[in-house]
Amino acid sequence: MNGSTASQIPVPSAGRLAVTTAIALAVAVLILVTIVLPAEYGVDPLGTGERLGLTVMSRPQQRKPAALPADGGELKPTALGPISQYPVPFKVDRVVFTIAPYDYIEYKYQLAAGAQMAFSWQASAPVSDDFHGEVNADPNQVQSFDASNFDGAHGLFTAPFNGIHGWYWENPTGKPVTVTLQTSGFYASAIEFRSDKTTVPHELKTP
């Protein structure tokens, strides 16, 4: 009985099998071109991937940029005769750097135009020092305020423009040099620039 039933099942002809195979292959190619290639590899020859929003899936994920330090604009002082008033309390900072032989380091604060900072730094040996500022709107505008070869300096600084202001210390000796910096002032942020081209934000304290 099984043999009789099997004999009644029609067997597709070679031509029909060829047509079916061709249709399946065409559908596979169509899916590959319109869906797989745009979504996985960003290849979109027919433009269907862009219209369907599939090419976005193939694009590398953009890493969200790190938040930039505050530009200090909110700390602009208000002059009342001989008094300068600020909207927030001043901050304090103390850092110690060990500079390798013939190496350098930069350390700068974000200050608004007119904002003030008291500073005191001491080195274990004389270093090449350049106290300067860079304009926020154009970092290529650099103004040097004091260049020396001292082992320390102490004073009060008033920022002439919105920007980052601070020190470049270079160790011209064959031995490590330690630099200790203490400041207090109405700055918004502090950042360290190392000779290996990396930057390190520093946390500031409110007294």
In this predicted model, what pLDDT tens digit does every residue of 19-45 receive, in sequence order?
777 787 777 777 766 676 666 665 667
Alpha helices per DSSP H over the chain: 2-8, 14-31, 48-51, 55-58
Number of domains into which the chain is organized:
2
Q: What is the pLDDT of residue 137?
A: 87
Residues 158 and 99 in one domain: yes
Residues 101 and 177 in one domain: yes
**Which residues form the domain of 94?**
73-202
Residues 79 and 163 in one domain: yes
Give me the chain's average pLDDT, please.
Answer: 83
- Distance (Å, rounded) from C-alpha 148 to C-alpha 187? 24
Q: What is the pLDDT of residues 181-199, one digit of tens each?
A: 999 999 999 999 999 999 9
Q: Check residue 205 and report its DSSP letter.
A: B
> Does residue 65 sit within a domain?
no
Residues 164 and 116 in one domain: yes
> Does residue 3 sit within a domain?
no
Residue 129's beta-bridge partner residues? Answer: 148, 169
Residues 170 and 127 in one domain: yes
Q: What is the pLDDT of residues 48-58, one digit of tens each?
A: 666 665 554 55
Instruction: Select from 25, 58, 91 the last residue of a domain.
Output: 58
Residues 193 and 96 in one domain: yes
